[in-house]
Structure 1
C-alpha cells in the first residue's frame, strides 16, 4: 500500500533534490544525468525526480491547453440551457480534452525510450561495480527486450490514465452544473467550479501522478535489469533489500531479506512482457487494511477479482529505522511467486531493491 504520508515526504525529498540538480545542470553545467546511480537510495530518488520532472514538463502544455479548451466550451449561461444541451456541452468538452491530451502518450514516449536505456545501463553498472558481478558492459539480448517493454508498457499506462481523467472530469462537470443550477448559482460561480475541477482532474494536480509513474518505471526497470544481470552472471537466487527507514512501508519490511530464484523472476517478467495490459494481475501491488476482528494490519493483493492475504503484521516497525517488524500468517516463497510479488516495485514510490544471494 502506498502510504499518503510517505508519498508527501517523498515528494518533498525529491523536489529538493531535483532543485539542486537543476542548479547543477543549468547554471554550473554539471551533467547530472550521467551521474545516475541506482545502487544507492539517493541515486534512485534523484533518478525518479529527474524523470518525473521531464514527464511533467512534456505533458504540461497539453494539460493546460485541455483545461483552456474545456472552459471555453463550458463557460455558458447554464440557466438558459435544456438538459439535453447541458449533456451535449459536457460531451463536447470531454471530446475536446480527449483530442488535445491524446498527444501526451506519444510525447512522453520520447522520454521513456532514452530513460529506459539509462536505467538499464545504470543498473548494470551498479551490478558490476557495487555487487562485483562478472557481466559485460554492453546490453545483452534480454536487456534490449527490457528497454522496449519499459518504453511501450509505460506509454500504455499513461494513455489509460488520461482516459480515466477525462471520464472523471465529465462526471464531475455534470454534477457541478446540476448542483449549481439547483443552488441558484450564476454563470461565473459555475464556471469557477468547472475550472477548478478541470485544473485538478485533467492535469492530475496534487496526485503526484508523474512521481508514481517515474518511481514505478525506474524501480521496475532496475528490477528487470538486475534479473538480467544475475542470469548473465550465473546467479541462482537474489535477496530483497528494503531501505529500512522511518517511511518504509509494511510490505517492504515484510519482504526484506526474503530470497527468490532468478528463474522465477524472469518468468514473471516474460508474462508481463507478453501481457502488458494484464500487469496489474500478473504483478499486483501489495496493499494493507485493518482486520476488524483482530485490529491488526493485513497485507493483501487484489488480482483477477480476488483478494488474497499475504501476511499479518503482528508487530509494526513502521516509523522506525532498521526495524523490520514481525509478521504472521504469511505466504510461502512459492505462493508469493505465484502472486507475482517476488521483485519490486511493491507499491507506489517503492524504493526496495534486490541483491545477489551469494550466501
Structure 2
C-alpha cells in the first residue's frame, strides 16, 4: 500500500504544481493583452486596480481549483481504492464510498480555490497599489507582478504539496475504514514506519489497538466537516498533533489508548507529513501476546484482570532464560526472563 499511495501523492503534487504554473502564465498573459488593448506605455487608471485584483483571484483562486479538478478526482479515487484493497479483499466501491469521495473532492477543491484568498489576496492588493503609486506603465506593472509571482511561487507550491500529501493520506485511511466495515473487522492496529524520521507522536501510538467503530465515527465527523467547509470543524474532527506543545504533548503523557481515543485521536494522519497507517487486527492466540497488547494500550480489560493475576502467579519468573531481541532494544543474547521483562 505504501508504495502505491506514495506514487499517487507524487502524481497529485506534480499536477497541482503544473496547474499553478498554467494559471499564473494565463493571468500574466491576460494582463499583457489588456495592456496592449488599452495602451501598454500608459499608467493604468485607478479602476483597473480592482479589475487586476479580480483577475488574480479568478485565475489563481477559482481557476486554479478548476484546473486541479481532474487530478484531484483521480488521485482521491486511487488513494481510497488503495486503502480499501489494503484490508485484503479487492472490494468494489459502494454508493456510500462514492458519496464520501464527492464530498472530499469538493472540499479539497474549495480549499485550493480559497488558498489565494487566505494566503495571497492581501499581498496582491498591496503590491498592485504600490506599483500604481509609483506611476508604472501597464506593461511595467505586469512585469513587476510577474517578478513577485516568482518570489511567492515556492511558497504556493509547498502549500499545494502539503495539501496533496495530507489529503491523499487521509483519504486512503478512510478507504481502510470502509474496507474494515465491509469485512466485519472490529479492531485495527496502528502501524508506524519506525526509523530516524518517526515522530514522537507516532512512536507513542505505534502498536495500539483501536475499535473500527471509533474510526468510523471519526470518518463521519470528517465528512460532516467537509460538507460544512469549516476549518474549525475539520480541526476538531482530526487534530493535527505536535510533540512540541499543546495537544501533542498531552497525548504523549497519556498511556491509555482508551483515553487517547476519547480525545478524538483515531485514524491517521496524526500530524502533517505523517506516514503511519492501520492494519486489521485480530486477537492473538498466544497469551503473552495478549498481555503485550494490554501493556501497549496501557489498560487491561476489566474481565481479564483476575485471569492475568492468576497467570502472573503461576509464571516461572526468572527461572529460565530467553533471548533479549535487538528489535526490542536488547543484544540478541539469552538472559533471565525477569531481566528481559
**How high is the TM-score relative to the length of structure 2?**
0.67
* Equivalent position of 1:238 in the other structure: 188
- Aligned to 1:63, which of 19, 24, 27? 24
Q: SS of the counterpart of 1:57?
A: helix
* Equivalent position of 1:150 in the other structure: 104
What are the residue-to-residue correspondences of 1:218-237 with 2, within 5 Å? Answer: 218-237=168-187
Distance, in Å, in 2 between the alignment partners of 1:109 and 1:354 is 28
Q: SS of the counterpart of 1:310?
A: helix
RMSD: 3.4
Q: Is the 8 A contact 1:310 1:330 kept in 2?
A: no
1:97 aligns with 2:59: no
Q: SS of the counterpart of 2:248?
A: strand
Q: SS of the counterpart of 2:249?
A: strand
Shift of 1:61: 1.4
1:357 aligns with 2:307: no
Distance, in Å, in 2 between the alignment partners of 1:63 and 1:96 is 11
Shift of 1:328: 4.9
Q: Is the 8 A contact 1:73 1:89 kept in 2?
A: no
Shift of 1:207: 4.3
Structure 1 residues 66 and 347: alpha-carbon distance in aligned structure 2, compared to 1, 3 A threshold: farther
Shift of 1:241: 1.3
What are the residue-to-residue correspondences of 1:121-140 with 2, within 5 Å? Answer: 121-128=81-88, 135=89, 137-140=91-94
* Equivalent position of 2:69 in the other structure: 109
Q: Is the 8 A contact 1:241 1:355 kept in 2?
A: yes
What are the residue-to-residue correspondences of 1:254-265 with 2, within 5 Å? Answer: 254-265=204-215
Q: Is the 8 A contact 1:67 1:198 kept in 2?
A: no
Q: Is the 8 A contact 1:48 1:214 kept in 2?
A: yes
Q: Which moved more, 1:160-169 or 1:236-245?
A: 160-169
* Equivalent position of 1:274 in the other structure: 224
What are the residue-to-residue correspondences of 1:300-311 with 2, within 5 Å? Answer: 300=246, 309-311=247-249
Q: Deviations over 1:251-282 (max 9, x none)?
A: 32332222221111111111221221231332
Q: Is the 8 A contact 1:90 1:173 kept in 2?
A: no
Shift of 1:332: 4.7
Larger radius of gyration: 2
- Aligned to 1:49, which of 10, 28, 34? 10
* Equivalent position of 1:341 in the other structure: 265
Q: Deviations over 1:20-68 (max 9, x none)?
A: xxxxxxxxxxxxxxxxxxx23x333222111211232334311222245
Q: Is the 8 A contact 2:269 2:275 kept in 1?
A: yes
More helix as a share of residues: 2
Structure 1 residues 332 and 142: alpha-carbon distance in aligned structure 2, compared to 1, 3 A threshold: farther
Q: Deviations over 1:68-100 (max 9, x none)?
A: 54688899999x89xxx76x5543321111122
Long gaps (5+) in structure 2:
284-341
Shift of 1:223: 0.6
Shift of 1:246: 2.4
